[in-house]
Amino acid sequence: MARKGYKLNNRPGQRFVGNLGDPQGFELLLQRWLEWLGVQNYSDKSALNYDVYTRYFMRWCDERGITQPREVTRPVLERYQRYLYHYRKELTGEPLSFRGQRARLAALRQFFKWLAKQNYVLYNPAADIELPRVEKRLPRHVLTITEVEKIMVLPDLADSLGVRDRAMLEVLYSTGIRRMEVVNLQLYDVDKERGTLMVRLGKGKKDRMVPIGDRALAWVEKYLVEVRPQLMTNPHEAQLFLTNLGEPFTPARLTQIVRRYVLRANIGKTGSCHLFRHTMATLMLENGCDIRYIQAILGHVELSTTQVYTQVGIRKLKEIHTLTHPARLERATRQDAATDAPRDEITADDLLAALDVESDEEADDLFTDAD
C-alpha cells in the first residue's frame, strides 16, 4: 500500500490513462512504481512530482496509440523531447523552461529504469536520453535590509494573527529555512537557551540544527505566550505555527500570507517564503560570511555535482550567524571568524544558483496544495 501521506490517484481532476485492466498498461505499472517509491521511503513530494510528470508522457502516448511502456522506444522518447521543446502554454503562449523540460524527462528516466529492473520492459529506452542543460541563474529578486524591514512592520500587532505573522516572517528571515520546514516546525524544535532551531526531516529527509537570531526568538516567544494559546483547539497539537482555526498550516496557505505582505510593502518585487531564504543567504554573503557556513545553515549538501559540505559545529554556526546576519539585537564586532573557514571551489554564484533552482521547484509544487 502507498504511504499515509501520498495517496495514489487522489489528486483533484486526475483521470486514468489507458486501460485499467491491462496488466502491462501504463496506469497499472505507474501505480506499482509509486507504491514502490513509498516502500523505499521516497518523500510524498517526490512521489507526487513523479506521478504528475509521468502522466504528461502517458497522455501524450495515449493520443498516439501507445498504451504500454514496452511499446516505447528511444525514437519515441526523442520525439517526446522535441514535443516538449516546441510546446507552448495555453494561457500565456510561453515555452516550457529548460528546467521544466528536464524535470519531465528525468521522471521518465527513473520510471523506465524501474520498469527494466522489474523486468516489465526488456531494456530501458530512456537510459541514454540526454537531458537539456539548465542555465545557472542568479536570484530574480533579493531584498535589501531596508526592504525587509519595510515588510516586517506590516503585520498588525494589535491583532493576534499579526503577531503570529510577524513571528513567521522573522523565522523565515533569520534562519532561511524552506517553506515546508516552517510548516513542519514543532514546539520542541525551538531552543531558546542555545539560540537554535531543529529542522527535522528537511529536504532529503535530513535533520539539521540551524542558528536563529535573538530578534526572531523574541517574536516567537511573544507568539507562544500571547497568541498560540488563543489559537489552539487541540491541547495535544505540537505544531508551532497554527492557523486562525487552530490547525497546522499547509504550504499553500503560508505562501499566501507571506506573498500578501511582500505585495503590500510596494517595493516593486514579488515572491514569498523563498524570497527570505534568498535574502538571508545574500546578505550574509555581503557581510563576509564564508560560503561553507551558509551551505550548512541552508542544508545544501550538494552544489552542482560536487559534494562540498563539511560538518560544521552548531556553536560555530551560531557565532557566524550572529556576526553576519543583519537582523540582530546588538551589533557584533568580531568579523574575522566569519571568514576563517577553509576555502573551497564553490562560488557565491553557485550557491545563489542552487537557491534559484529551489525557488523554481517550490513554485512548481504550489499545485500540490489543495488548501
Just list the catalytic residues.
178, 203, 274, 277, 300, 309
CB 269 within 8 A of CB 141: yes
CA distance 149 to 30: 48
- The answer to whether 293 and 341 have CB atoms below 8 angstroms apart is yes
* Three-class secondary structure of residue 89 per DSSP: coil
* 150-155 contact pairs (CB < 8 A, 24+): 150/265, 150/267, 151/261, 151/262, 151/265, 151/267, 154/261, 154/264, 154/265, 155/261
Closest to 32 in 3D by CA, of 129, 114, 155:
114
Can you tell me which residue has the cell 505566550? 225
Q: Are the CB atoms for 340 and 290 separated by under 8 Å? A: yes
Cα–Cα nearest to 57, from 109, 116, 121, 21: 109
Helix residue ranges, H only, 223-272: 228-231, 251-264
Closest CA to 56 of 75, 33, 84, 86: 84
Let me know: does 273 contact 172? Beta carbons within 8 Å: yes
- Cell numbers 517509491 label which residue? 37
Quick one: which H or E segment has residue 302?
strand 302-303
d(CA 308, CA 304): 10
- The position carrying cell 517550490 is 362
> Which residue type sits at 282?
T
